[in-house]
């Protein structure tokens, strides 16, 4: 969480930083701040969104060719002006912005307080800049060395940028466990949490590695390890395009991203499926093809929506490749001494590729000898880099905090992986492979049809804007779809919603049903259709309001449900890709009609880089 931007070069830093902060606002939006070097160091910070900072600085001096900015998701210390970054040393000579958590800040703060340091905020970050100041005072070392020594004392995760009044022509950046990209221009450098603030200035970037420190002047970049060894950086070329970061005429990023799904799924399959030959090729995991033939078990780790994609994958892999699958919350897995060995393949799913719990779970599984496949969206993020192999989802940047196109791209990749595994293990006949892949190839067209339900879904949504609770029911692979539908609704509309396996309803949640309770049921024609019909009857018998997602042309459910939303018929394993779309639209419209900020829901952030 938190977004950081830095600039040093020949241009005005302010417009670059403020635009960058807007792009990174999805990472946190509790408060924002900047530091600009213009003879002296001018620092402005404000609680609230980046736009509040812009208002606050309207008549202030914003000159300077060197600067840094921060948009915060609060961990230590409530969102407020004084807890906003940048934080300064006691003598106001040094300033820092930070993304991450300094875990041992308590003991460091105690020691520094006893040495006379006075703190102006409640943050962990301020402790680090005082520590650097203290080391400099004590040792008389230069700032570079003081930063290095301080980072050696720090436990936790950080991506930091430091400015000093004494070194006005230098920025110092460092990372451990939190992302940081350096954009390389001509006589200028950019620093950011991801490439989005950089893309319009340069396509050449360096992904700083953990435990590296970058000393950056406008015409010089030196990267050293935290042990003081000079590193040779690798310059990557970005594939990102500017228009991917803009709303493109849609009212919200979330809506744009929902509508992008036919394209994002096509991009995700491009060059990977050959329907006529009944063949899937996944270059990213092909060196493990043999291992997949004999594997006894797959463990999937993820959080949130990505965990729901993992639950879909459980059905897909067990159905297609006949490999037992366990799906774990990364946050639970990492703390419970899981039984994992070198025989296991662990699939880590993450849109951002930076989720702290998922990263820690990967490290644990790696220690135990497992092979890690990463399924990530952000190219070059930490998870793909710490995984042994993997498959990118190629959904393009997802800016809306609520995940939409990233989920369907994850499910697409996991479908490809399941079919690839089946191919290796011979668990699906060639003719079935051909028919499945032909249908998969056509899924983007079917998603376009699902999107045509938008107006109808919007009119249904209008009936439920005052609902206080929702239940989502599904069976088989419809169950994770129900969970995802419920998560979308609660995160953007703040309506309480629960996803349940339809048959479990009678073991408890049925007590909640009355004439006020909307129940969304995934009731498409598949192997559990008849059973779901019985569940709908159980809801109706208790006067619940049923909104059913049905297969085109369905008549039976239509007779029972209060509202139906039709989606095209498809092979059962592709159901999650289609049924998810109207649920995304339903939450979107309910949230918009309730006046909620759908792109930046309260208390959330796009990448959860704290545990
Ligand atoms: C999705 O709508 C959520 N905002 C959230 O649950 C998210 O899926 C979760 O934090 C995992 O993120 P990741 O995919 O980037 O690892």
DSSP codes, 203-270: SEEEEPPTTEEEEEETTEEEEEETTS-B----PEEP---GGGGS-TT-SSHHHHHHHTHHHHHHHHHT
Kindly indicate the confidence band of residue 236, based on its pLDDT and cuts at 50, 70 and 90. Answer: very high
CA distance 452 to 79: 41
pLDDT for 273 beyond 90: yes
Residue with the smallest CA separation from ligand 1 atom 4 is 402
Collect all residues with Cβ–Cβ distance below 8 Å to 432 and sequence separation of at least 6.
Answer: none
pLDDT for 492 beyond 90: yes
The pLDDT, as a whole number, for residue 420 is: 97
For the CA of 383, the closest atom of ligand 1 is: 16
The pLDDT, as a whole number, for residue 406 is: 98
Please tell me what DSSP assigns to residue 504: G
Kindly indicate the confidence band of residue 509, based on its pLDDT and cuts at 50, 70 and 90. Answer: confident
> Active-site residue among 2, 268, 303, 320?
2
Active site residue 2: yes
Ligand 1 center to residue 308 CA distance, Å? 10
Q: Could you give phi then psi for residue 157, rounded to 5 degrees?
A: -120, 145
The pLDDT, as a whole number, for residue 79 is: 85
The pair of three-digit structure tokens given for residue 493, joined into one six-digit string? 């509309």
Kindly report, residue by residue over 137-161, the tens digit of the pLDDT: 999 999 999 999 999 999 988 999 9
Kindly indicate the confidence band of residue 607, based on its pLDDT and cuts at 50, 70 and 90. Answer: confident
Residue written as token pair 């399959």 = 269
Active site residue 432: no
The pLDDT, as a whole number, for residue 240 is: 78
Strands (E) across 81-165 are located at: 87-88, 94-102, 156-164
The pair of three-digit structure tokens given for residue 24, joined into one six-digit string? 């990174």
Kindly indicate the confidence band of residue 461, based on its pLDDT and cuts at 50, 70 and 90. Answer: very high
Kindly report, residue by residue over 403-428, the tens digit of the pLDDT: 999 999 999 999 999 999 999 999 99
Mean pLDDT over each residue of the chain, to the nearest integer: 94
CA distance 182 to 200: 14
Q: Mean pLDDT throughout 576-605? A: 94
Residue with the smallest CA separation from ligand 1 atom 16 is 350
Range name among 74-83, 154-163, 439-448, 497-506 with the lowest pLDDT average: 74-83
The pair of three-digit structure tokens given for residue 434, joined into one six-digit string? 């051909």
Q: Mean pLDDT throughout 576-601? A: 96
Collect all residues with Cβ–Cβ distance below 8 Å to 503 and sequence separation of at least 6.
Answer: 475, 531, 535
pLDDT for 78 beyond 90: no
Q: Mean pLDDT throughout 49-67? A: 96
């Amino acid at each position: 969480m938190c977004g950081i931007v830095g600039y040093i070069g020949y241009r005005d830093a302010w417009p670059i930083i403020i635009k960058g902060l807007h792009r990174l606002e999805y990472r946190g939006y509790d408060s924002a701040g900047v530091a600009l070097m213009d003879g002296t160091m001018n620092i402005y910070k404000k609680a609230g969104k980046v736009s509040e900072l812009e208002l606050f600085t309207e008549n202030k001096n914003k000159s300077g060719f060197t600067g840094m900015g921060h948009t915060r998701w609060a961990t230590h210390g409530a969102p407020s002006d004084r807890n906003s970054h940048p934080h300064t040393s006691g003598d106001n000579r040094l300033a820092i912005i930070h993304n991450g958590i300094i875990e041992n800040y308590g003991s460091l703060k105690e020691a520094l307080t006893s040495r006379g340091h006075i703190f102006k905020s409640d943050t962990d970050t301020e402790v680090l800049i005082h520590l650097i100041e203290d080391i400099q005072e004590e040792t008389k070392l230069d700032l570079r060395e003081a930063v290095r020594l301080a980072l050696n004392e720090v436990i936790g995760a950080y991506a930091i940028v430091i400015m000093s009044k004494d070194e006005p022509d230098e920025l110092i950046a460092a990372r451990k466990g939190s992302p940081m990209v350096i954009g390389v221009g001509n006589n200028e450098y950019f620093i950011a949490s991801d490439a989005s603030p950089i893309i319009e200035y340069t396509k050449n970037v360096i992904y700083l590695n953990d435990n590296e420190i970058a000393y950056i002047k406008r015409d010089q970049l030196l990267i050293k390890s935290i042990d003081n060894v000079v590193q040779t950086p690798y310059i990557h070329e970005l594939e990102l395009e500017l228009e991917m970061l803009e709303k493109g005429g849609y009212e919200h990023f979330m809506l744009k991203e929902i509508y992008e799904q036919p394209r994002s799924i096509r991009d995700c399959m491009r060059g990977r499926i050959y329907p006529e030959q009944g063949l899937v090729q996944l270059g990213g995991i092909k060196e493990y093809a043999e291992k997949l033939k004999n594997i006894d078990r797959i463990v999937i780790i993820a959080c949130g929506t990505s965990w729901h994609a993992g639950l879909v994958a459980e059905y897909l892999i067990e159905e297609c490749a006949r490999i037992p699958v366990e799906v774990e919350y990364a946050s639970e897995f990492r703390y419970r001494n899981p039984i994992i060995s070198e025989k296991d393949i662990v699939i880590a799913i993450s849109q951002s590729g930076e989720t702290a719990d998922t990263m820690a779970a990967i490290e644990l599984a790696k220690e135990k000898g497992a092979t890690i496949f990463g399924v990530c969206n952000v190219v070059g993020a930490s998870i793909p880099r710490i995984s042994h192999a993997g498959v990118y989802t190629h959904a393009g940047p997802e800016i809306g905090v609520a995940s939409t196109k990233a989920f369907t791209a994850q499910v697409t990749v996991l479908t490809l992986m399941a079919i690839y595994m089946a191919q290796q293990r011979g668990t699906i006949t060639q003719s079935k492979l051909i028919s499945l892949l032909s249908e998969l190839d056509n899924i983007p067209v079917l998603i376009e049809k699902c999107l045509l339900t938008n107006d109808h879904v919007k009119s249904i949504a209008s009936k439920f804007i005052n609902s206080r609770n929702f239940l989502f029911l599904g069976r088989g692979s419809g169950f994770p779809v129900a969970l995802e539908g419920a998560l979308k609704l609660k995160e953007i509309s703040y309506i309480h919603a629960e996803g349940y396996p339809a048959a479990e309803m009678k073991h408890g949640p049925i007590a909640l049903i009355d004439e006020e309770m909307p129940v969304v049921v995934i009731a498409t024609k598949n192997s559990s259709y008849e059973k779901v019909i019985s569940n709908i009857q159980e809801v109706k018998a208790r006067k619940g309001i049923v909104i059913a997602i049905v297969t085109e042309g369905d008549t039976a459910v239509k007779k029972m449900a209060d509202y139906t939303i039709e989606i095209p018929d498809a092979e059962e394993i592709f159901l999650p890709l289609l049924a998810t779309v109207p649920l995304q639209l339903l939450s979107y419209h309910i949230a918009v009609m309730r006046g909620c900020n759908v792109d930046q829901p309260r208390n959330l952030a796009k990448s959860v880089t704290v545990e």
